[in-house]
Amino acid sequence: MRNYLAATLIIISLESLSFGFSLRDGVIQTIDTNPQIKEKTREYRAMKEQLKATFSDYYPKIDITGAYGYEKSNNSNTGFQDKSLQRKEADVKITQQVFDGFATHYGVKRDEFKTKAAKAVIYEKASYLALQTIETYLNILMDKELIALAKENLKNHEEIYEKIKEQTQSGVLAESNLALIQSRLALAKSNLVTYENRYQDDITRFYKLAGYNVDIENLEKPSFNIELPKTLKEITQIAERKNPAVKAQEYNLKAAKANYKYAQNNFYPHFRIEANKGWNKDIAGVKGRHYNTTVLLKANYNFFNGGKDFVNLQKEISLVHKENEKLRDIQRKIFENSRMAWTTIELTDKKEKYLKNHMKFIEKTLKLYKEEYNLGKRSLFEILDAENESFSAKREYVKAYYDRLAAKYKLLYVMGELLEKLNVDLSDKICLDVCKDSPRILNRIDIDEDNDY
């Protein structure tokens, strides 16, 4: 009986435990559930299929045709007399591309680069959403601390308000003092509402990113134990090498260059082998069976098509330059984001030290003011001013702490190491290739008859 009661108590205790929700949990849940990542994953899979379609041009094509119907002939076979027959024909043609001006070669290269770019875009989107999740997560924690400070500040105002109200009613203080403390009390209440509103907004943003299955009340405060590079130059070099946005755009640039080569295929002759076998009956006014077999090497060279090929080539040159400029723009943005995050870390580190001293001295001042008030040397408004300054100092310290923490995670994002340092394996969280436990056809779309397509 005692063992039974002990086991029951253990079960009840375990059920009552609320397990914390870590920052890494939030990132993983975002990656698992966010539709933007799933959208980019579908685009990647579609691009892989396009690559296979382009590569298929290396293979022979087999066409089978057949026909049956009425034919009326008037030619030398019929003595130039009208003759009607039931025409029947069947044909098998095998076509093998021999040389197409390197179109297939560069088409495959282009789609290979586009596929790699699409995969890099998944990592870029996942990293960006992870950063947004982290920033919102930290904002929620910051909001909680600011709300706690605002409540403490409001409590202090209410206590002083009651004292001033009592002294005003007894005639010790003038009515103007009561009006002043009432206005400050209203401001303290307004500040609390502002922080609570911001808290609810951040929760809404977090739900949008990570879904609704999150216990907001049990978010764990993260500790940043990752060693960052010592210089801004080192950070920028890592970012240019590992940032997925840079990788994606480098592949887009290579794809544009391959497409430029692809556009030159019309300047070359095209060669193909065609093997044809025909079975015909009762055609051209001649009754009976007719068979024919051909194996031909065919060549085609377009001599002039109105200058369209030259115009297309110039267009592709412009598109190459466009992709190159986009890459340069991304590199500049990376430098900008790196420098801003680096500067934030450096300055908030200094700011935290000053704010710690500020809090220490204002707390000392507040303590002395209260002692002096008991001796009749200070007024309640002087204590209130010190309370407000203490609240302001604590608030600024909380903001600086979370700004510095967010800047560190942003540096990891810029360097392309955010998911890696959080130990989040993206390929394990989303199925980049065809999943082992799913059919090759990834989607079956049932079209509702009521929908207009």
Q: Which of 229-243, 363-377, 391-405 has the lowest mean pLDDT?
A: 363-377
* CB 234 within 8 Å of CB 53: no
Classify residue 88 by its DSSP letter.
E
**For the chain, what is the mean pLDDT?**
86
Helix (H, G, I), strand (E, B) or coil at 224: coil
Q: How confident is the model at residue 431 (pLDDT cuts 50, 70, 90)?
A: low
76 belongs to a structural domain: no
Using CA atoms of 331, 337, 341, 342 in order, give the dihedral in degrees to the nearest 10.
30
* CB 387 within 8 Å of CB 154: no
Q: How confident is the model at residue 5 (pLDDT cuts 50, 70, 90)?
A: very low
pLDDT (0 to 100) of residue 12: 35
CB count within 10 Å of CB 109 equals 19
434 belongs to a structural domain: no
Q: Going by C-beta distance under 8 Å and a sequence separation of 6 or more, which residues neighbour residue 133? A: 26, 27, 30, 206, 209, 210
451: pLDDT strictly greater than 80: no
Token readout for 51 is 């690559």
pLDDT (0 to 100) of residue 92: 95
248 belongs to a structural domain: yes
Chain position carrying tokens 């209410």: 158
| Alpha-carbon gap, residue 159 to 199, rounded angstroms | 26
pLDDT (0 to 100) of residue 79: 65
Q: Which of 72-76, 154-158, 304-308 has the lowest mean pLDDT?
A: 72-76
| Alpha-carbon gap, residue 358 to 365, rounded angstroms | 10
- Among residues 399, 58, 105, 425, which one has the least CA distance to residue 258? 105
Chain position carrying tokens 């500020």: 358
Q: Which of 26-30, 173-177, 252-256 has the lowest mean pLDDT?
A: 173-177
The secondary element (H helix, E strand) that includes residue 167 is: helix 103-169
Mean pLDDT of 323-329: 96
pLDDT (0 to 100) of residue 163: 86
Q: Helix-strand-coil percent breakdown of the chain, rounded to 5?
A: 65, 15, 20
7: pLDDT strictly greater than 60: no
446 belongs to a structural domain: no
The residue among 251 and 169 whose pLDDT is bigger is: 251
Token readout for 430 is 């989303």
Q: What's the Cα-to-Cα distance from 331 to each of 239, 322, 327, rounded to whole Å?
A: 9, 14, 6
pLDDT (0 to 100) of residue 429: 60
How many structural domains is the chain composed of? 1
- Among residues 106, 125, 99, 104, which one has the least CA distance to residue 416? 125
pLDDT (0 to 100) of residue 86: 83
Report pLDDT digits (tens) over 151-186: 999 999 998 888 888 888 887 778 888 888 889 899
Classify residue 285 by its DSSP letter.
T
26 belongs to a structural domain: no
Report pLDDT digits (tens) over 100-124: 999 999 999 999 999 999 999 999 9
CATH number at residue 263: 1.20.1600.10
9: pLDDT strictly greater than 80: no
79 belongs to a structural domain: no
> Angle, to 10 degrees, between the axis of helix 175-210 and the axis of helix 103-169?
160
The domain of 382 spans 37-61+101-268+308-426
pLDDT (0 to 100) of residue 352: 86
| Alpha-carbon gap, residue 262 to 51, rounded angstroms | 14
- Among residues 260, 292, 267, which one has the least CA distance to residue 278? 292
For the chain, what is the largest distance between any 2 Cα atoms, rounded to a whole number of angstroms? Answer: 137
* CB 376 within 8 Å of CB 97: no
> In this structure, are strands 83-99 and 286-300 parallel, antiparallel, or unpaired?
unpaired
pLDDT (0 to 100) of residue 164: 84
> Half-sphere exposure (CA, 13 Å, Cβ side) for 22?
7
Chain position carrying tokens 């070099």: 237
* CB 28 within 8 Å of CB 429: yes
| Alpha-carbon gap, residue 155 to 409, rounded angstroms | 35
394 belongs to a structural domain: yes
| Alpha-carbon gap, residue 62 to 223, rounded angstroms | 64
15: pLDDT strictly greater than 70: no
Q: Which of 192-206, 223-237, 248-262, 368-382 has the lowest mean pLDDT?
A: 368-382
Mean pLDDT of 399-413: 94
263: pLDDT strictly greater than 60: yes
Q: How confident is the model at residue 272 (pLDDT cuts 50, 70, 90)?
A: very high
447: pLDDT strictly greater than 80: no
- Among residues 436, 438, 442, 433, which one has the least CA distance to residue 122? 433
Report pLDDT digits (tens) over 210-235: 887 788 888 999 989 999 998 999 99
31 belongs to a structural domain: no
pLDDT (0 to 100) of residue 430: 62
